[in-house]
Amino acid sequence: MAKNVAKIKKVAVFTSGGDAPGMNAAVRAVVRGAVYHGIEVCGIIRGYDGLIKGDIIDMDGYSVSNIIQRGGTILKSARSEEFRTKEGRAKAYDNIKKFKIDGLVAIGGNGTYTGSMLFSKEFDIPVIGVPGTIDNDLYGSDYTIGYDTAVNTALSAIDKIRDTADAHDRIFFVEVMGRDSGFIAIRSAIGGGAELAMIPETKTSTQYVINKLKEVSNHSRASHIIVVAEGDEEGSAQDIASRVKRSLPHLDIRVTQLGHIQRGGSPTAADRVLASRLGLGALEGLLEGRSNVAAGIINRKLVYTSFEDAITKKKPYNRELVRMIEILSGRSYKFKLSEQMEE
């Protein structure tokens, strides 16, 4: 049960940073949760930039009707250089007072959390974060909003690429998003039956790829899918494919960079449920007197993690999934750091 409801009379919700499918479901949960608990709620347009400019609108249950299935965010999103300055944050706080806002729900990724932590500490305003990023790289939640949808979008593309690759015996390097993490790459590679995944968490050299392709090409012509996370230390999929092509000019090599298609589209059922749980959890966390924390789901339970830990701690990836790629593809990976693996 929520406690200390009287201390919070009005909350504001905003989305910031890169958009992720499911953000609208989280906004909906915050708004309808506020209505349920009998408190006022407003939406901040374009994140921190809107908070500085006072671009704030009143919301109610009807204002979030028919949005749970929509990608993107009805509150828009933007990055704000001005909010990085003390003067910018002071302007934002002036609007907090002007609109009589008692608490904030910040939906976004690492940068959103960093801004919220600074703002909360400087002006003693209660803020709770909601992990909204397709990268799934935030510590404090098993999954982040948008990740499942992004994986399924990547998987759908890989399935289609597999069809044409097989028809022409081509090698496709498919680059997926993820910033500095390989979570999208790992799951889409397993689901798409990729022969190899190159991710920041493991060391897979271009020479290793060349050697494996040389080995298989000596026996038969066949199609191959190699999934590359955008943050891999070997470079982009285009960079890697170019080096491979120079060494193996007889192979028909193509590159597909999936790009921002992974951010769009209707969220999956998993993302809608996750976003709804986290949005409501953040709202009720504020009502319970929590602040400077991020809501998350770990082992199917709602938890709260300090912004500092969520920002600074490295999220471990599932070693078993990487091992699965190794076994099913007949390849062996060298791990960079054992502490990055799931215990």
The pair of structure tokens assigned to 52 is: 């500085």
| Structural contact between residues 244 and 214, judged by C-beta atoms closer than 8 angstroms | no
Q: How far is CA 177 from the centre of its chain?
A: 9
Q: Using alpha carbons, select from 13, 69, 10, 21 the residue that is nearest to residue 295.
A: 13
**Single-letter code of the amino acid located at 80:** S
Q: Element (H or E) spanning 56, and its range?
A: strand 56-59
- Please say if 135 is a catalytic residue: yes
d(CA 264, CA 153): 9
Say if strands 171-176 and 224-229 run parallel, antiparallel, or are unpaired: parallel
Q: How far is CA 79 from the centre of its chain?
A: 16
Sequence-ordered list of residues with C-beta below 8 angstroms from that of 48, at least 6 positions apart, any chain:
14, 16, 78, 80, 82, 83, 88, 92, 115
Torsion over CA: 82, 111, 297, 120 (sign):
negative
**Catalytic residue chosen out of the listed positions 49, 135, 148, 271:** 135
Looking at the annotation, which residues are catalytic? 135
